[in-house]
Structure 1
Amino acid sequence: MTAFQTRLADAATVTEQTLDALLPTAEDGPERIAEAVRYAALGGGKRFRPFLAIESAALLGGDPAAARAAAAALECVHCYSLVHDDLPAMDDDDMRRGRPTVHKAFDEATAILAGDALLTVAFEILGSPRTHADPAVRAELVLCLARAAGSAGMVGGQMLDLQAETAAEALGEADVMRLQALKTGALIAASCEMGAIVSGADAADRGRLKRYGAIVGAAFQLADDLLDVTGSEAEVGKRIGKDAARGKATLVSIHGEDWARRRLDALVVEAGETLAPYGEAAAVLVDAARFVAVRTA
């Protein structure tokens, strides 16, 4: 395994352990909601957003325990978004991470509540003094995640995505890029920025890490669009071909597969240039951008 693969696997392991310790159990409320929440958040996923938070904090000398807590909060928001995106009223998906989606494994109402619970526990984690002793840092973490997850970020992007399905005309390139920057890019950029916040970074470092995250977010979504065209359902772990079936425009449908691969290469270069001031210390994060561009799942 490469250094990047090892660190990604380590981040996934520690995030799983942190989530297992922080997520509600049957002792905290109704057993069924605890089961659904834990089904949604545990036992799967690359934990890429937590990895970015942990590695960004490590790059800037942040406290590892605080970074792990912030990473767990990020993953709660990400998992909540997947649970709700999979609902019949949204993307209507039956499979996620190679197993039934939450509304299939439980029921639709329970899935909605499980998503609500995951979103709420994310901010409970960030607001806890156990995450960071400095209340100002905790407040900045809450603000950063809230902005990335809300109507000016991920939720806004999902709204644009839903509207695009019934629009009279397919979206153009600029509109697709805006949609994707909100729906996918905002939370990935926040992952890196939260790592900087945990570290008490100055505005320059915080902005640089956020910019790197935005670039990686663009690459992540472009690679996802490619997989929807070229991937296999067995590898990806979810239904593919959804965009074409719904007539949704993507950068791949607008420009083609060859353009998309060239653009991915350019984004990897841009990510590396953004982190150039950190030299070899940022090598794992540079490799993360490469991983995103060539992933098969």
Structure 2
Amino acid sequence: MGTYIIRRLLWMVPIFFIVSFGTFMLTRYAPGDPILVRAGPRADPEVIERIRHQLKLDEPIPIQYISYMTGFFTGDLGESISKYPGTPVAELVFPRIAVSAQLGFVALLMIFLLGGLIGIIAALNHGKWKDPFLISICLFFHSIPSIVGIPILLYIFVLQLHLVPASGWDGIFSLKIIIPLLVFTLPALAGPARLMRNTLLAVLDQDYIRTARSKGLTETSVIGKHALRNALLPMTTVVGLSLVSVFEGSFFIEMLYGIPGIGVLSLEAVYARDYDIIMALAQFSLILFLVFQILTDIIYTMIDPRIRLESSEE
């Protein structure tokens, strides 16, 4: 298993540098000039060039990339160029990442626990009314966009029931998390629920399941020890792939509900062409994706040792 993980890590090194360099190039060649945003459209050309030289933005792009990555690996994420001039990017990004990470982790946990549970119940009741009913409910919530869901939930929970505040953030143990968590969770249940249902139904139709039942094993033992173990493999992959999309999906919800996460900061950075903030957020998303790919591979090999054996034989 150690060799398998090391091989995966080695593959991720070039992937990291290729994607990060591509992102760096996109920020530099994107329309707009952060120096004009910082100095103002009426600034003297000499002032603009002096600021550009101070920030080393007049150097060749490969040299800029090497300088940025050198600072990145030593903990220096640079300074805000245009939106918050002179402010260290780390001071702007890390507190907001912490907020988005809390919300994203709880949302992801709820999505796959509830979605998986609904899928299991639907599969075990295949051919009964519970199966189409549960999946239809999930699809109904999936069809409601966030821009519609948030006002509806605000009307119900804030104006009618007076259970939660209208906006803001006080951590995951505050009532303020209820509305953004519901907006995150309810529309996303359909995917995991349908995946678990279809996978479990396919597994239950396998010969080894029929063999286990013919040996007199209880239904609980057949499902818990044999069927679910194999049905969890596709779910593990989807969890790993969904993590970054959960953080990306949080942008709109954070902006609507007034949560101080990376959503508002990302939008501000893009509008202001603030290179270092954009790069820091992109690097965070990339590292998050790669780390969870490794964790997914580890969980895969724990659930199904055949994956580890097949990899070692190649």
**Common fold: TM-score over 0.5:** no
Larger Rg, first or second structure (1 or 2): 2
TM normalised by structure 1 equals 0.31
Bigger fraction of residues in helix: 2
TM-score (norm 2): 0.29
Higher RCO (CA < 8 A, seq sep 6+): 2
